[in-house]
């Protein structure tokens, strides 16, 4: 599932886009949904790249058998990789095939064929590959090696460059989505078959994902609705310098933080403050974390006095719940 930290960062990017090129809230929410769906597409492309890598390996192995003067190893190849039990079961899985169809996955064409052939040629020279070919075959050993294949393919530079060219959104988040897929694949066991659920990064069949996405959509809409009010609050707390000197990204972060403090009673104040300090480190200036921390402390006092912060629920009683979802 998408962590709330990740979702907050995508809300921030959407708010930034609206600030740069104003659109109404309906369009902003639609754009946000599109961003999330595109991450599901990327996750599916990553999985399919591993499967296609193995399919190309099988083709290369078969072609070598029909060379004019094949070596003994080429005449009698070790087909352990094409016959990998884990990857075969994943490729036959209904959910996986459905995701590929929905994301319009297509690795056809000379360009892709050459890219995967080059990737396999380099991979076949690795010591881990030779060791795998000569090891006992079990579902568990094939799964462990499939994870190595996945990591290799995800770090293959030509593949990454190709995928990044398809969407400007993907480069920054490629590794996080790959990490999700890695952990998801690792969690599967020998009950994997055609009917096993292969969850997406943001999956509407999973209640936690529905709740997380609902949180993000609400955060987006509340932030857009109260931006002017938060700007006025910032101005009232600035001492000795002008509002225009405040980094634009810091203003957007504070907009989101106030929305979260006032509209999400189950999220503890400490969690909200920590989250926006972390986001400021990722997206704003070096000094922003200090500014965000100091201003939010003042905002919390002001909002409490106005009766606008009313925390309740399990998230308040157990702050680790929010952290577990990230």
Q: Does position 325 have pLDDT exceeding 60, yes or no?
A: no
pLDDT in tens, 58-71: 999 999 888 888 88
In whole angstroms, how far apart are CA 79 and each of 27, 32, 74? Answer: 51, 44, 11
CB neighbour list of residue 164: distance below 8 Å, 6 or more residues apart: 170, 171, 174
Max mean pLDDT among 64-78, 238-252, 257-271 falls in 257-271
Report the length, in residues, of the chain. Answer: 326
* % residues pLDDT > 90 (the chain): 71
| Complete DSSP assignment for 245-291 | GS-HHHHHHHHHHHHHHHH-TTS-HHHHHHHHHHHHHHHS-TTHHHH
Hunting for tokens 């886009």 — which residue is that?
Answer: 17
47 close to 188: Cβ distance less than 8 angstroms: no
Hunting for tokens 């300090």 — which residue is that?
Answer: 277
Q: What is the token pair recorded at 2?
A: 């998408």
CA distance 231 to 251: 7
CA distance 304 to 306: 5
- The stretch 258-281 carries a mean pLDDT of 95
Q: What is the largest CA-CA distance in the chain?
A: 85
pLDDT in tens, 86-142: 999 999 999 999 999 999 999 988 889 999 999 999 999 999 999 999 999 999 999
Burial class of 64 by CB neighbour count within 10 A (0 to 12, 13 to 18, 19+): middle
C-alpha angle 131-132-135 in degrees, rounded to nearest 5:
90
| Coil vs helix vs strand at 304 | helix
- The stretch 136-152 carries a mean pLDDT of 97
Q: Which pLDDT does position 319 carry in this prediction?
A: 41
DSSP state of 189: -
CA distance 153 to 120: 9
Q: Which pLDDT does position 326 carry in this prediction?
A: 47
In whole angstroms, how far apart are CA 212 and each of 72, 151, 204, 205? Answer: 56, 27, 10, 12
DSSP state of 124: T
Q: Which pLDDT does position 84 carry in this prediction?
A: 97
Q: How far is CA 258 from the centre of its chain?
A: 25
Q: Kindly report the average pLDDT of the chain as a whole number.
A: 90
CA distance 319 to 304: 19
pLDDT band, very low/low/confident/very high, at 226 (cuts 50, 70, 90) = confident
pLDDT in tens, 31-60: 999 888 888 999 999 999 999 999 999 999
pLDDT band, very low/low/confident/very high, at 313 (cuts 50, 70, 90) = low
CB neighbour list of residue 258: distance below 8 Å, 6 or more residues apart: 226, 229, 230, 233, 299, 303
12 close to 252: Cβ distance less than 8 angstroms: yes
Hunting for tokens 């290369």 — which residue is that?
Answer: 60
Domains of the chain, by residue range, sit at: 4-187, 226-325
- The stretch 179-196 carries a mean pLDDT of 96
For the domain 226-325, what is the CATH code? 1.10.940.10
DSSP state of 214: H
């Amino acid at each position: 599932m998408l962590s709330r930290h990740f979702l907050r960062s995508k809300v921030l990017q959407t708010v930034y886009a609206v600030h740069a090129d104003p659109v109404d809230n309906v369009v902003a929410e639609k754009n946000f949904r599109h961003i999330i769906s595109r991450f599901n597409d990327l996750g599916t492309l990553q999985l399919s790249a591993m499967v296609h890598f193995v399919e190309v390996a099988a083709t290369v192995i078969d072609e070598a058998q029909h060379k004019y003067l094949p070596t003994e190893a080429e005449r009698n190849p070790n087909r352990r990789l094409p016959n990998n039990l884990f990857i075969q079961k994943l490729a036959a899985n209904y959910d996986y095939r459905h995701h590929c169809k929905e994301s319009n996955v297509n690795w056809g064409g000379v360009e892709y064929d050459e890219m995967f052939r080059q990737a396999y040629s380099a991979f076949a020279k690795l010591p881990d590959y030779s060791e795998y070919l000569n090891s006992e075959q079990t579902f568990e050993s094939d799964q462990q090696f499939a994870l190595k294949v996945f990591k290799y393919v995800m770090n293959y530079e030509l593949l990454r460059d190709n995928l990044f060219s398809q969407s400007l959104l993907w480069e920054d988040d490629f590794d996080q989505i790959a990490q999700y897929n890695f952990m998801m694949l690792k969690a599967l066991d020998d009950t994997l078959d055609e009917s096993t659920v292969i969850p997406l990064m943001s999956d509407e069949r999973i209640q936690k994902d529905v709740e997380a996405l609902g949180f993000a959509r609400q955060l987006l809409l509340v932030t857009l609705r109260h931006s002017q009010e938060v700007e006025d609050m910032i101005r009232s707390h600035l001492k000795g310098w002008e509002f225009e000197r405040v980094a634009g990204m810091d203003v957007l972060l504070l907009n989101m933080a106030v929305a979260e403090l006032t509209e999400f009673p189950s999220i503890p104040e400490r969690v909200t403050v920590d989250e926006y300090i972390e986001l400021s480190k990722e997206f704003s200036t070096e000094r922003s974390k200090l500014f965000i921390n100091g201003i939010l402390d003042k905002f919390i006092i002001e909002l409490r006095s106005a009766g606008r912060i009313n925390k309740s629920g399990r998230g308040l009683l157990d702050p680790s719940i929010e952290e577990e979802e990230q």
